[in-house]
Structure 1
Amino acid sequence: METDTTALLARARAGDHNAFRDLVQGHSHELQVHCYRILGSLQDAEDALQETLLSAWRNLGGFGRRSSLRTWLYKIATNRCLSMLRADGRRPRVAPPLPEAALPEPTGAADAPPWLEPYPDVLLDHLVDQRPGPEARYEATEAISLAFITALQLLPPRQRAALVLRDVLGYHAAEAAQMLDTTREAVNSALKRARATVDDHLADSGSSGSRRPARQPDTAAEHRLVARFTDALERADLDALIELLVTDVRLSMPPAMLEYRGIESARRIFAAVSFRPGRAYRVVPTRANGQPAFGLYLADPHAAVHRAYCLLVVTTASDRITAITSFSTNVMTRFGLPRTLPVDGLSSRR
């Protein structure tokens, strides 16, 4: 393997684009996930990955093998993300007008920023099995959860990068300092502050006061919950849906920075918007951020189709839903979800 890498590196340095592609392709998917964690947006992560690979190609002659190729690429990607975060014009700072005119009064402002986007699980399937270093503090599934990504967005950029490098990827403090062009003491100081913020947010996001949301993907209990949630939405059964929620459930809808918390708030918003008279839905289950997700389609009263309405991502604990995050139709094509569904033949899609 080392011989193959050395040969590819030599050919790539000589200008062989195919050799460079073979050299980095095993790292591309994990680098995209890394950029997504820091940026919170799949679109931004894709842009950051392309800029990272372009920079690596241009600077391959400067790669002196004092670190592994993977670490060198992570350094480029991390600093590319930090540069993007400094460019304030890349992402919205003010939420656009709400699409629904009759939303009930929210219980507060949501932590989720306007640019937050879900990450399709199908992209996670392409990850090469890269075990984190010994310093890692979070499990891989937890470190992609929507609650964790949201918590990262609350941090200043360098704290965000320090936490991901140390607690997610497991790099030593000295390695992280070298990647961020700073001192080990600065990394440890940033990490201490970042951990406090993230742990507080995850504790608040979990049900029953747990420090972190309990998530065990693809369990039988989750499959039953997905079936019940889908059925409640398609039958417009508000009571059945409310039965699936924990008492302090949280509802949010980026880019609108509003939050609805608690059973009664959930009942009001579902009654006023989702289940108001004349609406009928079809639901296509999928997965995002290691969590159940649902493409929601609204019946068109003037045509024999259901049109894409939103993507819901739910956080679960055992057999209950602790949070529901609603995203616009803009993200649905990334999940392979069509813009419309025919009225007939939908049951086969479940």
Structure 2
Amino acid sequence: MALDETTEELARAAAQGDHRSLGELLRRIEPDVLRHCARLLPYHQDAEEASQDTLLAVARNIGRFEGRARFSTWLHIVTANCARTTYRSLKRRAAEQTSDELPESRADPRRVSVIAGSRLDLLDAMEALEADKPELAQALVLRDICELDYNQVADQLGIPLGTAKSRIHQARKYVQGVLGDEYGRFT
């Protein structure tokens, strides 16, 4: 999400308590947030849910935005976290349903995208990584999902550049082990 300077200024003003700036900021970022969520979640309704959660999180937490990094970097992290939270919530709800609550029909394989399935596999692998090695997951999300460069990842995490590169490499190896060679398509 590359945001223009006006949006960055709105974010700084909103962080200082300007409610008008916050409203305008949310209006401006909504399409980008939805697009970013759609890259992570394969179904439009799920992406919309994550997008709304992201906008709510921005509205609630804008005061925590300190302006040390660009707002777009902060927004990437909030968006990725909300998308992953939405995914975990959907997965948990699906697991809670008993088999008699589920309809007899299965998903039509002709209508289920290979890309969607790959994204779900990747989210499962990311969830496993986060549970096992959260510091690696955080670096990988910033680099491969939020598409920050290595310097930005290091700055955002407050770690040396070499440590950021090492964590990203280790995280990719972990995810690759979970997914097999499929992960090469995502990086």
Q: CA deviation at 1:69?
A: 1.1
> 2:12 aligned with 1:9, yes or no?
yes
Structure 2 counterpart of 1:35, from 34, 37, 41: 37
Q: CA deviation at 1:193?
A: 4.1
Q: Looking at both structures, which has the greater relative contact order when contacts are Cα pairs under 8 Å and sequence separation is at least 6?
A: 2
Amino acid at match of 1:65: G
Amino acid at match of 1:97: E
> 2:119 aligned with 1:152, yes or no?
yes
Matches within 5 A, 1:201-220: none
Identity of aligned residues (%): 27
Amino acid at match of 1:98: S
Q: CA deviation at 1:24?
A: 3.8
Structure 1 or 2: more strand by fraction? 1
Contact 1:38 1:161 in 2 (8 A): no
Contact 1:38 1:152 in 2 (8 A): yes
| Alignment deviations for residues 51-79 of structure 1 (CA, whole Å, 9 cap, x no partner) | 11111112112111122111111111112
Q: CA deviation at 1:178?
A: 6.8
Match of 1:170 in 2: 147
Q: CA deviation at 1:186?
A: 3.3
Amino acid at match of 1:20: L
> 2:158 aligned with 1:189, yes or no?
no
Amino acid at match of 1:190: A
| Alignment deviations for residues 155-184 of structure 1 (CA, whole Å, 9 cap, x no partner) | 323569866643465323454477689973
Contact 1:35 1:78 in 2 (8 A): yes
Match of 1:50 in 2: 52
Which ranges in structure 1 are unaligned for 5 or more consecutive residues? 104-109, 118-145, 204-350
Change in Cα spacing, 1:5 to 1:171, as seen in structure 2 (3 Å) is closer
Matches within 5 A, 1:295-314: none
Match of 2:105 in 1: 98
Match of 1:143 in 2: none
Match of 2:92 in 1: 89
Which ranges in structure 2 are unaligned for 5 or more consecutive residues? 130-136
Q: CA deviation at 1:22?
A: 2.1
> 2:22 aligned with 1:20, yes or no?
yes
Superposition CA RMSD, Å: 4.2
Give the Cα separation in 1 of the matches to 2:32 and 2:46.
Answer: 15
Change in Cα spacing, 1:181 to 1:48, as seen in structure 2 (3 Å) is farther
Q: CA deviation at 1:151?
A: 1.3
Structure 1 counterpart of 2:77, from 75, 78, 101: 75
In the superposition, the TM-score normalised over structure 1's length comes to 0.36
Equivalent position SS for 1:30:
helix
Amino acid at match of 1:34: H
| Alignment deviations for residues 262-289 of structure 1 (CA, whole Å, 9 cap, x no partner) | xxxxxxxxxxxxxxxxxxxxxxxxxxxx
Change in Cα spacing, 1:23 to 1:48, as seen in structure 2 (3 Å) is same
Amino acid at match of 2:53: E
Give the Cα separation in 2 of the matches to 1:82 and 1:179.
Answer: 19
Give the Cα separation in 2 of the matches to 1:149 and 1:40.
Answer: 5
Equivalent position SS for 1:59:
helix
Amino acid at match of 2:17: A
Match of 1:264 in 2: none
Between 1:185-194 and 1:168-177, the stretch displaced more is 168-177
**Rg (Cα) greater in structure:** 1
| Alignment deviations for residues 126-165 of structure 1 (CA, whole Å, 9 cap, x no partner) | xxxxxxxxxxxxxxxxxxxx43332121132356986664
Give the Cα separation in 1 of the matches to 2:48 and 2:172.
Answer: 26
Change in Cα spacing, 1:179 to 1:150, as seen in structure 2 (3 Å) is farther
